[in-house]
Amino acid sequence: MKLGELTLTLVADGEFRLDGGAMFGVVPKVLWQRHKPADERNRIRMTTNCLLVERGDDLLLIETGVGDKGDAKFRDVFGLAEGATRLPEAIAAAGYAPGDVSHVLLTHLHFDHCGWSTIDDGTGRLVPAFPRARYWIQRGELAHAEAPNARDRPSYDPRNWRPLLDAGVVELFGDEGEPIPGVRAIRTPGHNADMCIVKLDGGGDDVAVFWADLVPTRAHVPVPWTMGFDLYPLETMANKEKWLPRAAAGGWLSIFVHETDHPIGRLVEDRPGRFRAVPLE
Q: pLDDT at position 276, please?
A: 96
**Residue 72 in this model has a pLDDT that exceeds 80:** yes
Burial of 271 (0-12, 13-18, 19+ CB in 10 A): exposed
Mean pLDDT of 215-235: 98
Whole-number Cα distances in Å, 145 to 120, 178, 222: 21, 22, 29
Q: pLDDT at position 204, please?
A: 86
Q: How many domains does the chain fold into?
A: 1
Share of the chain above pLDDT 70, in %: 100
Asked if 46 contacts 18 with a C-beta cutoff of 8 angstroms, the reply is yes
Answer whether residue 163 is part of any domain.
yes
Asked if 254 contacts 210 with a C-beta cutoff of 8 angstroms, the reply is no
Q: Three-state secondary structure along 219-268?
A: HHCCCCCCCCCCCCHHHHHHHHHHHHHHHHHHCCEEECCCCCCCCEEEEE
pLDDT tens digits along 121-138: 999 999 999 999 999 999
**Residue 281 in this model has a pLDDT that exceeds 90:** no
Answer whether residue 277 is part of any domain.
no
Answer whether residue 59 is part of any domain.
yes
List the domain range (segments joined by +) for residue 216. Answer: 2-272
pLDDT tens digits along 145-170: 999 999 999 999 999 999 999 999 99
Max CA separation in the chain (angstroms): 58
**Residue 83 in this model has a pLDDT that exceeds 90:** no
Q: pLDDT at position 185, please?
A: 98
Q: pLDDT at position 259, please?
A: 98
Of the pLDDT bands very low, low, confident and very high (cuts 50, 70, 90), residue 87 is very high
pLDDT tens digits along 54-70: 999 999 999 999 999 99
Chain-centroid distance of CA 192 in Å reads: 13
CATH number at residue 62: 3.60.15.10
